[in-house]
Amino acid sequence: MIFRKASAADVSAVEEIYNDIHTEEEKGGLMTGWIRGIYPTRATAEGALERGELFVLEDRGRVVGAGIINQDQAEAYAQGRWVHELPPDRVCVLHTLVVSPAASKKGYGKAFVCFYEEYARKTGCKACRMDTLEWNSVARAMYRKLGYAEVGIVDTELQGLSNVSMVLLEKYLG
């Protein structure tokens, strides 16, 4: 497994993962809460690439996962009951973590979160934060197993999705 910053050549692979997730959601096989054409889209990946925030997980020459890593805490994060009050430059945030449905159940999601935590440490952050939609029970269970505490569920509008119940998660790195 190789984790790296994405290049322009990776955007199509990331978009394909987004589309595969949307297809699984529409078939009832996944419960992310995302909506095709609204979020995430190719523009999501392109914007993150332009900002230098898009990372990919490559295995055997194929992009099987991606995520956006930055320090951007969504407005709704202000409603969280964060255990650790830290300056914004000491908090790292993971957005839009995806693993190809064709590569699920192989530990890629867990590996990506571990990469994210190591990246946060290397950049001087003391806490990792993220969010997921309330009904995404698979993601919530994985994050719980990885030591993330749920610090609130807030109703918000996010990335063009309205009436979103977003679970806020935090892990202190020390």
In this predicted model, what pLDDT tens digit does every residue of 49-93 receive, in sequence order?
999 999 999 999 999 999 999 999 988 899 999 999 999 999 999
Q: So what's the pLDDT on residue 157?
A: 78
- CATH label of the domain that carries residue 51: 3.40.630.30
Domain containing residue 53: 2-172
Stretches where the chain sits below pLDDT 50 are none
pLDDT at 138: 86
Phi and psi (nearest 5°) for 127? Answer: -145, 150
Query: What is the number of structural domains in the chain?
Result: 1
State how far the Cα of 121 lies from the Cα of 141, in Å rounded to an integer: 23
Angle, helices 11-27 vs 42-51, to 10°: value is 140
Of the candidates 157, 139, 151, the residue with the CA atom closest to the CA atom of residue 98:
139
